[in-house]
Amino acid sequence: MSKITKEQLQKIQEQQSKLQSILVEIGVMEVRKHEATHAQSVLSQEIEATKKELEEEYGAVNINMQDGSYTNIEKEEDDDSDLAVVKSED
């Protein structure tokens, strides 16, 4: 039976071992990524619920995140926010 040298066998065994370690590490990172993405989604839902509660109590407001003060958001009666205003340069 023909065989490769001990050194060659050792080299490819080490390479395969390193590859397996890297693949396991990638798998762990993917699980952590999934967990983080899920946590972010849950938090986003909580934030939206809090926004809704605050809007029901205070109306449409901008809140200062440093001191908790707020200002009312002025709504324009004629909402043309989809229209762009273009100035012509004469």
7-58 pLDDT per residue, tens: 999 999 999 999 999 999 999 999 999 999 999 999 999 999 999 999 999 9
pLDDT for 4 beyond 70: yes
For residue 4, give the nearest of 89, 13, 52, 32 by alpha carbon.
Answer: 13
- Tell me, what's the pLDDT at 78? 59
Segments in 1-90 forming alpha helices (H): 6-58
Query: What's the predicted TM-score (pTM) here?
Result: 0.62
- Tell me, what's the pLDDT at 57? 96
Cα 90 to Cα 85: distance, rounded to the nearest angstrom: 16
56-90 pLDDT per residue, tens: 999 999 999 999 999 999 877 655 555 555 555 65
Cα 90 to Cα 73: distance, rounded to the nearest angstrom: 35
- Tell me, what's the pLDDT at 76? 74
Greater pLDDT, 87 or 1: 1
